[in-house]
Structure 1
């Protein structure tokens, strides 16, 4: 009897020791430090740690954490109330939407990763040109384009007349001269073979506005404009109006993106087909009730 009593006494003590040891052993790995609780939902310190940056002062950190906790609590309380007060049909509808959104996020990320791994992004100039010639009628300008050269001079620039002469002449000697004194200019654009939108030109030359650009941005037009910053001298070499066919050089970056998008869509369709075919072959996908 005494033996049995000792035996009965030792088992719970041993069990207590084992469970206490296990508890202390795993406590550091599993226990998280809570910051706040709403019902049975907890906000833990590790959930917010990544938002606290080294450049925050202690006061800023405290303020940020306080606001974060209050916003989190507000959302949790509203969520809890909504689950109680919204009709059951609405809750089911929203749950389905959430599930669909979650699935879309996962599958989209996975598909994009596969596409990036295997998509061919090399596009030759001849491919771009071929696409351009085929779709040329669809590439209409919705904004006026110009080719021009211009400089921005400080207000007190002494040699303005000579710069005007060189910009108008544009012989090799004129270009060399302007290049040699380019460090004195506030702004410079000598590549008059590229097409530039009027919006971009007005950003670079503030005295040009939608009200006066028609006057100054005409083919073979020289202009001189001034504001509080300085003087702008420019020579327009060519103009393309709205609804003109976009020039190849101007539109080629867009064509490249169009081709890549088309390849991407074709690749995704092919990928989806291959995934379904593979699942059918492995007997992982089956449709019931189809007529033979």
Structure 2
């Protein structure tokens, strides 16, 4: 009796397992059902799943999917017509182009890998300086630059007169005395050797937005502006006019890229030379 019960249980498990397999196959069949077909080519939901934006409405999603299907269909139809009408000569040319493109992808990928491993990306200050001095004429300014000091504080500041007096002074000690007022200022720029464009100054200090470029591009130890927000003091310390040679600090990044590009080309030539020599030495490259 126990054996009969065990046999029946085993049969039930087998039947249930078979039913699960049938259900799973149906689900897979439904999942694999194409959403569009052109001749013997099929488009499946998985093919466009990653192309549909996630945060759009159901209606917009349907419109978007419809567009993807139409584009896919047009591409397949054109491809079929092209394959039917293309000549054998054209076919060979296309095959050659495809093979050349594939070879280029492999070769360039390998070269980039070698470059990442072997290229020295450290550019010393002396290299930057040497290149800059040898190619100064290549670094002419397209617009004027200036160096300036700047203070901005409330109109009712208790030490307003003292701050203006110290800022206007050429005495080093007076300028250093300004340090004690910095925390009470809205913003400031002092002892900064960075070169900036007139556009940058105008965008940073609003009362100077309508000031002419000519007025700003001249050395002036004291320019004062006021508006409802506060007092603005500017001292233009140094200027460089358009078409003058740019300072090294302004073109340092550009020079670094030029030097690295030259190193890259030299490295590629060295890799190619080594590759040829090794092939000849190992008798893998022969000329007849």
TM-score normalised by structure 1 residue count: 0.69
Distance 1:197 1:216, change over 3 A: closer
Inter-partner Cα distance in structure 2 for 1:225 and 1:81: 73
Inter-partner Cα distance in structure 2 for 1:196 and 1:157: 27
Aligned length: 257
Q: CA RMSD in A?
A: 3.8
> What's 1:216 paired with?
216
SS of the residue corresponding to residue 135 of structure 2 reads helix
Is 1:278 the counterpart of 2:278? The answer is: yes
Is 1:110 the counterpart of 2:107? The answer is: no
**CA distances 1:129-166 after superposition (whole Å, capped 9, x unpaired):** 2222233343322221111123566xx74339555545
TM-score normalised by structure 2 residue count: 0.70
Distance 1:150 1:211, change over 3 A: closer
Structure 2, unpaired ranges of 5+:
1-20
Q: How does 1:124-273 map to 2 (within 5 A)?
A: 124-151=124-151, 157-159=155-157, 161-162=160-161, 164-169=164-169, 171-177=175-181, 179-182=182-185, 184-185=186-187, 188-205=188-205, 212-220=212-220, 222-224=222-224, 232-273=232-273
SS of the residue corresponding to residue 220 of structure 2 reads coil
> What's 1:34 paired with?
34
Structure 1, unpaired ranges of 5+:
1-20
Q: Quote how far apart the aligned CAs of 1:242 are.
A: 1.9
- Answer yes or no: is the 8 Å Cα contact 2:168–2:221 preserved in 1: no
Inter-partner Cα distance in structure 1 for 2:102 and 2:207: 51
Inter-partner Cα distance in structure 1 for 2:102 and 2:112: 16
Distance 1:221 1:63, change over 3 A: farther
